[in-house]
Amino acid sequence: MPHILVDRLVKTYRISERDPGLAGAVRGLLRRRQRTVEALAGVSFALERGELLGFIGPNGAGKSTTIKILAGILRPDGGRVEVDGRDPFEDRERHVGRIGVVFGQRTQLWWDLPIGEGFDLLRDIYRVDAARYRRTRDELVSLLKLERVLDQPVRQLSLGQRMRAEIAAALLHEPELLFLDEPTIGLDAPSKLAVREFVRRANRERGTTVLLTTHDMHDIEALAERVIVIGHGRVLADSPVEALRAQVAAAGIAADAAIDEDEREDLAIEEVISRFYAMHGAHEA
């Protein structure tokens, strides 16, 4: 049984629209006009225990929606999703204890609370055994170099400190599965390297399964052996990064924009992915 099974997943959002100006607002009160956005249009993949998957795609492709469904936050409109054979949404109470989630764009810690106290609250929420909690917390605090900020409230932390605290918070209950949605967004180079190194170790040494979303292709190059590319809610590729590079090079040759062997090696990862998105018309309109 795969750790994660996603089978023809569909998710549609309904958005209320109104015309601009006061007249539009009044008309909107009388009659709601709705538009639908097909965020996922049949996404399928499977992930084995201990894998580290790069889950990439342009803005609006459906990455966060997929993660929210896998985390049990959103219910899909169609298709099947299983984590360890369980439905994340229907069984979310048990599910949340087995996963860790980091949304780089939002904090899951308490804004006014010192992070050490936030960690203690999470121990209570996840009902982690006291001795085990102390061991895991001390290890995470040391690995993520959080000793000097434990007494500071989240609102006083720099972005890099906060992101390290978020990652620690997501791992305090020792989940087997970690969802990272843009964990390096806005970080400086040393902080990015620290986060990458930590994620690599969590995956290699603890065997944590990781699904990583990022727009920083250096994260992907450094960490992911396998990538899934999605665009407009569909899977465009599921392969090693090198296979994408080969596909991009072959397309260049077919279009008479020859890319020779040396050039192919030198093609920066951003260039490879940008060309791949362009080849598949994946970018937002």
Ligand X SMILES: Nc1ncnc2c1ncn2[C@@H]1O[C@H](COP(=O)(O)OP(=O)(O)OP(=O)(O)O)[C@@H](O)[C@H]1O
When asked if residue 64 is in the footprint of ligand X (CB under 6 A), the reply is yes
For residues 15 and 30, which CB has a smaller minimum distance to ligand X in the complex?
Answer: 15
Q: Quick count: other Cβ atoms within 10 Å of Cβ 216? A: 18
- Using CB under 6 A as the binding rule, the residues of this chain from 7 to 26 that contact ligand X are 13, 15
**Least distance in angstroms from the C-beta of 275 to ligand X:** 18
Length of the chain: 285
Is residue 29 classed as helix, strand or coil in its secondary structure? Answer: helix
How far is C-alpha 115 from the chain's CA centre?
22
Determine the interface stretch with ligand X among 54-62, 117-125, 158-166, 259-267 (rule: CB under 6 A).
Answer: 54-62
Q: Which of 11, 2, 3, 20 is nearest to 230 (CA)?
A: 11
Of 4, 51, 63, 209, the residue at the interface with ligand X (CB under 6 A) is 63
255 touching ligand X, by CB under 6 A: no
Nearer to ligand X, 77 or 117 (CB): 77
Using CB under 6 A, which of 57, 160, 183, 231 touches ligand X? 57
Please identify which residue in the block is written with the tokens 């369980």: 86
Distance CA 21, CA 172 (A): 49
- For ligand X, the closer of residues 149 and 230 by Cβ is 230
Tokens 């087997």 -> residue: 176
Nearer to ligand X, 217 or 259 (CB): 217
The b/e string for 115-136 (b: 16+ C-beta within 10 A; e otherwise) is beebbeebbeeeebeeeebeeb
Q: Is 183 in the site for ligand X (CB under 6 A)?
A: no
> At closest approach, how far in Å is the CB of 61 from ligand X?
4
Residue number with CB closer to ligand X (105 or 190): 105
Does residue 60 interact with ligand X by CB under 6 A?
Answer: yes
In degrees and rounded to multiples of 5, residue 76 shows phi and psi of -70, 160
Query: 70, 4 in Cβ contact below 8 A?
Result: yes
Site residues (CB under 6 A) for ligand X? 13, 15, 37, 39, 57, 59-65
